[in-house]
Chain A
Amino acid sequence: GAGVSQSPSNKVTEKGKDVELRCDPISGHTALYWYRQRLGQGLEFLIYFQGNSAPDKSGLPSDRFSAERTGESVSTLTIQRTQQEDSAVYLCASSLAGGPPGELFFGEGSRLTVL
C-alpha cells in the first residue's frame, strides 16, 4: 500500500480481555517498530523487527505483551489480560533497512481504551 496501515483505528475493551493490533508496513520495508504513546507523552519503544533477525523485544513492558511478524509483512501486537494502564495509542512504523537513518514512516495508530 501507499503507507503504513494499522487496524483497528479504535478499540474499546474491558479489563482482562485480550486485544490484537495489526500493522501492515510499506511494501519493501524490512524494518518495523511498535511504539506506545500515552496521552500527553512521548513515544515509548516496544519492539523492533528487522527482516528475519531476532526481534529486539527490550521495550515490551510485561509478559502480557507480545508481537509477531512473519518475514517482512504484517505484524500483530497482542496484549493479554488488558489493564487500564494499557490505554494508549499504539503506533507502528516501518523503514527501509539501510535507508536514511531515522526516517520512519508511521501509521495513524490504534487507540486502545481499557475500561
Chain B
Amino acid sequence: AQSVAQPEDQVNVAEGNPLTVKCTYSVSGNPYLFWYVQYPNRGLQFLLKYITGDNLVKGSYGFEAEFNKSQTSFHLKKPSALVSDSALYFCAVRDADSNYQLIWGAGTKLIIKP
C-alpha cells in the first residue's frame, strides 16, 4: 500500500540551529514528492518538490529537501532556523495510480524557539 510517514509529531529547534523534518514514503514506481507548509490559520503553501534529477531540491524560504531512494526518504532541511519558520509541515507523494491524487503525511509541528 502506498503511504507517507512523518515520524515526529513535533520538532523543537533553537533559532539559528539547523532543522530537519523527516518524511519517509512507500510507493510503487518513481515517486513524485512534495513538501507543504501551513502557517497558523492559513491554507497550505507549496514549498518544494522532487520529480526527477538532482537529489537535493531547493525551495521557498531557504528550505531544501534531499531525496534518498535507498532509504525511501525525503527529509526537509534548513541550515539556520528562524522563529518565523514555526508552522505545520506536510509531506506528500503523488499516488502512482493517479495523475492527480496526493497521499499526505499527518504533519509535523515545527517550533523554533528564540
Query: B80 → chain A, closest Cβ, in Å?
Result: 26
Question: Which of A13-21, A38-46, A65-73, A74-82 participates in binding chain B?
Answer: A38-46
Contact between A107 and B43, CB atoms less than 8 A apart: yes
CB distance A42 to B44 under 8 Å? no
Interface residues on chain A, size class: 20 to 34
A91 at the interface (CB under 8 A from B): yes
Residues in B whose Cβ lies below 8 Å from that of A45:
101-102
Q: Cβ of B100 and Cβ of A48 under 8 Å apart?
A: yes
Residue B14 lies at the interface, judged by CB distance under 8 Å to chain A:
no
1/0 per residue, CB under 8 A from B, across A46-66: the answer is 001010000010000000000
Q: What separation, in Å, do the CA atoms of A50 and B42 have in the docked complex?
A: 25
The reply to whether the CB of A102 lies closer than 8 angstroms to some CB of chain B is yes
Instruction: Check: B22 CB closer than 8 A to any chain A CB.
Output: no
Which residue of chain A has its CB nearest to the CB of B44? A106
- Bound state CA distance, A43 and B101, in angstroms? 12
Known contacts A42-B104, A42-B105, A48-B101: does B92 contact A102 (CB below 8 Å)? yes
Contact (Cβ within 8 A) A108 B107: no
- With a cutoff of 8 Å between Cβ atoms, the chain B residues found around residue A103 in the complex are 34, 46, 49
> For the complex, what is the distance from the CA of A43 to the CA of B51, rounded to whole Å?
21
CB distance from A32 to the nearest CB of B (A): 11
Which positions 85-112 of chain B face chain A at CB distance < 8 Å? Answer: 90, 92, 94, 99-102, 104-107
Known contacts A42-B90, A43-B90, A101-B94; A106 and B43 CB within 8 A of each other: yes
Show 18 residue pairs from A and B whose CB-CB distance is below 8 angstroms, ordered by the A residue: A41-B106, A42-B90, A42-B105, A42-B106, A42-B107, A43-B44, A45-B101, A91-B44, A93-B43, A101-B32, A101-B51, A101-B99, A102-B92, A102-B94, A106-B43, A106-B44, A108-B41, A108-B42
Chain B residues within 8 Å of A, Cβ to Cβ: 32, 34, 36, 41-46, 49, 51, 90, 92, 94, 99-102, 104-107
